[in-house]
Structure 1
Amino acid sequence: MALVPYVENPLPALSKLHNSSAEFHFANHELRLVQDWKNLGVAAVVWDAAVVMCMYLELGKVELKGKKVIELGAGTGLVGIVAAILGGQVTITDRPPALDLLAANVKANLPADSPGSALVSELSWGDDLERYSPGGYDVILGADIVYLEDTFPLLLQTLEHLASASAAVLLACKIRYERDTNFLGMLAKTFTVEEVHYDRERDIYIYKAQKLHREDL
């Protein structure tokens, strides 16, 4: 997830991003995530896309129990924590500046009796991918990671490397600009892509992608 400089924003709708913490109830657990917009920008606040993703995971339409799961651009770690509580063996990743906050949130919120597990790990898209097993993940999660056009080729490379032949890639995002739709078109060259959920209140879409078989390419 990209880091941006802190800019004080007076809009009431964005005031929650400046709070030092955010509280949620998912998977029968109370979660309290520390936020730090001032120092880390977008990587250190909980965005609506993460909330909608967690709501979708709670529906149980994607099997997580015992599955190898990886979250990209995790930020505060909410999605990865919920995935672990729901039984996933989760690797929660982001760029180096976000890792300390991410690790602290995971440690503070993952219950000791969680059926799943969570490991925090560094991952900058496209870099050192050999550290991660090719095709090693059953579920790949990304909340609000489709917004910087310069990162699209690296994100695609990373998804192609990580996804197993039958992996489910779930992306929660707003469609803000034409470039966001363009990314879905890029993804569709090597993955099937379908809209599986829309949260009208928050204007968040969830797309599910799966690798195309060689004969389909």
Structure 2
Amino acid sequence: MALVPYDENVLPALSKIHSSSAEFHFASHRLRLAQDWNRLGVAAVVWDAAVVLCMYLELGHVDLKGRAVIELGAGTGLVGIVAALLGATVTITDRKPALEFLSANVRENIPPDLRGAVQVSELTWGEGLQRYPSGSYDLVLGADIVYLEETFPALLQTLEHLSSEKTEVLLSCRIRYERDERFLRMLGKLFSVQEVHYDEQRDIRIYRAVRIKTKPEL
């Protein structure tokens, strides 16, 4: 999903996003992710926040083996793919227009013996959430999904639905505007939020959020 408006003439340094593919090495695997800016725009580009989150996962800050993971707004699928390679059972989600592209990247980069541990699924935030068991995920992942203010209520609703008090939410993002800070304040009303990592070179922060325990009714 989008993170910044893009004008190739104004921002030539971002011309790499027009490359048809991007290559990485994570979890002892060489990954080649197709990109297609012209057809799908920002949903089909590997952004820095995804790379930083993959690096964070690979360093073992989160135990992924055997855990149930869901990625939101997956785009190219890099984060979910890396989580699966590190031992998680992963549901990789995005909106319907991105699914064919996303599925192709998953098929290309997940070894046959691990494909049973990965599912690609349609999820528009705030819609059809009953298809996803409430609070049943150990880990919710999102890279550069905090940027459009009009999506904040639906994103918060989705995070709340997917999470129990034992669920960890990891959001990797670049804080650019006041609205980004506003989202973190909104998130903080439902979750305990802390910054757990900062990549200074890429100016990317990773936030960990856990549902605030609700007091039992008397």
Same fold by TM (over 0.5)? yes
1:143 and 2:143 aligned: yes
Displacement, 1:13? 1.6
Matched to 2:180, the amino acid is D
- Report what 1:61 is aligned to: 61
CA contact (8 A) 2:3 2:147 kept: no
- Report what 1:16 is aligned to: 16
CA contact (8 A) 1:24 1:30 kept: yes
Change (3 A) 1:135 1:146: same
How far apart, in 2, do the equivalents of 1:27 and 1:139 lie? Answer: 18
TM-score (norm 2): 0.94
How far apart, in 1, do the equivalents of 2:182 and 2:99 lie? Answer: 30
Displacement, 1:12? 2.8
Displacement, 1:112? 2.5
Q: Deviations over 1:5-31 (max 9, x none)?
A: 9x6613332111000000000011000
Q: Deviations over 1:23-74 (max 9, x none)?
A: 0000110000000001101100000000000000011111111111000000
CA contact (8 A) 1:169 1:209 kept: yes
Which segment drifts farther, 105-114 or 23-32?
A: 105-114
Structure 2: gaps (5+ residues): none
Matched to 2:27, the amino acid is A
Matched to 1:208, the amino acid is R
Displacement, 1:157? 0.1
- Report what 2:121 is aligned to: 121
Q: Deviations over 1:78-108 (max 9, x none)?
A: 0000000000100000000000000000000
Change (3 A) 1:204 1:176: same
- Report what 2:187 is aligned to: 187
Alignment of 1:147-166 (within 5 A): 147-166=147-166
Alignment of 1:26-175 (within 5 A): 26-114=26-114, 117-175=117-175
Displacement, 1:136? 1.2
How far apart, in 1, do the equivalents of 2:4 and 2:146 lie? Answer: 15
How far apart, in 2, do the equivalents of 1:48 and 1:4 lie? Answer: 12
Displacement, 1:215? 3.1
How far apart, in 2, do the equivalents of 1:8 and 1:29 lie? Answer: 33
How far apart, in 1, do the equivalents of 2:112 and 2:86 lie? Answer: 13
Matched to 1:183, the amino acid is F
How far apart, in 2, do the equivalents of 1:111 and 1:194 lie? Answer: 34
How far apart, in 1, do the equivalents of 2:97 and 2:115 lie? Answer: 29
CA contact (8 A) 2:168 2:210 kept: yes
How far apart, in 2, do the equivalents of 1:2 and 1:207 lie? Answer: 19
How far apart, in 1, do the equivalents of 2:7 and 2:183 lie? Answer: 30
Structure 1: gaps (5+ residues): none
TM-score (norm 1): 0.95
1:208 and 2:208 aligned: yes
What secondary structure does 1:61 align onto? coil
What secondary structure does 1:185 align onto? helix
What secondary structure does 1:183 align onto? helix
Displacement, 1:3? 10
How far apart, in 2, do the equivalents of 1:55 and 1:116 lie? Answer: 24
Segments of 4+ moved more than 3 angstroms: 1-5, 113-116
